[in-house]
């Protein structure tokens, strides 16, 4: 390959990567990929479902059904309550704790993402 051909190939790769990065940025909220959404899809959606209704592909096989994050009961929980549940899990259920597997910042990102799907609604 000539110098000119190599240079053209490098430019083509740089342009392709730039276009892909711009597409990802433009398709994400606020111009950046939301880390909470990625973490949720990787670790939570199998049970809670992509929309948070507790209807993920693994939900039917669980003895204790996963929480429906869209329910009034879940939406009325404070961020602290959600953080505690995510960090330490729920006794006698398949919801195990994520402390030690996710950082505090990652758990807070997941909560922020959950709030975009199911905003806080205080119970009166």
More confident residue, 72 or 23: 72
- Least confident range from 12-16, 59-63, 107-111: namely 12-16
With cut-offs at 50, 70 and 90, classify the pLDDT of residue 14.
very low
pTM of the model: 0.72
Residue of 102, 93, 79 lying closest to 48 (CA atoms): 93
Enumerate the β-bridge partners of residue 99.
102
Give how far Cα 113 sits from Cα of 24, 36, 77, 119, Å: 17, 5, 15, 10
Distance (Å, rounded) from C-alpha 94 to C-alpha 60?
12
CA atoms within 13 A on the CB side of 93: 15
Contact (Cβ atoms closer than 8 angstroms) between residue 72 and residue 123:
yes
Mean pLDDT score of the chain, rounded to an integer? 83
Burial of 32 (0-12, 13-18, 19+ CB in 10 A): exposed
pLDDT digits (tens, 9 = 90+) for 67-112: 999 999 999 999 999 999 999 999 999 999 999 999 999 999 999 9
């Amino acid at each position: 390959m000539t110098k000119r051909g190599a240079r053209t190939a490098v430019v083509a790769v740089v342009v392709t990567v730039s276009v892909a990065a711009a597409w990802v940025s433009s398709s994400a909220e606020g111009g950046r990929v939301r880390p909470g959404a990625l973490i949720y899809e990787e670790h939570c959606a199998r049970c809670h479902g992509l929309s948070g209704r507790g209807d993920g592909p693994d939900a039917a096989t669980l003895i204790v059904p996963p929480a429906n994050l869209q329910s009034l009961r879940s939406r009325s929980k404070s961020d602290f309550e959600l953080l505690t549940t995510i960090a330490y899990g729920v006794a006698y259920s398949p919801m195990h704790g994520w402390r030690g597997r996710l950082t505090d910042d990652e758990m807070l990102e997941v909560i922020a993402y959950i709030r975009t799907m199911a905003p806080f609604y205080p119970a009166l």
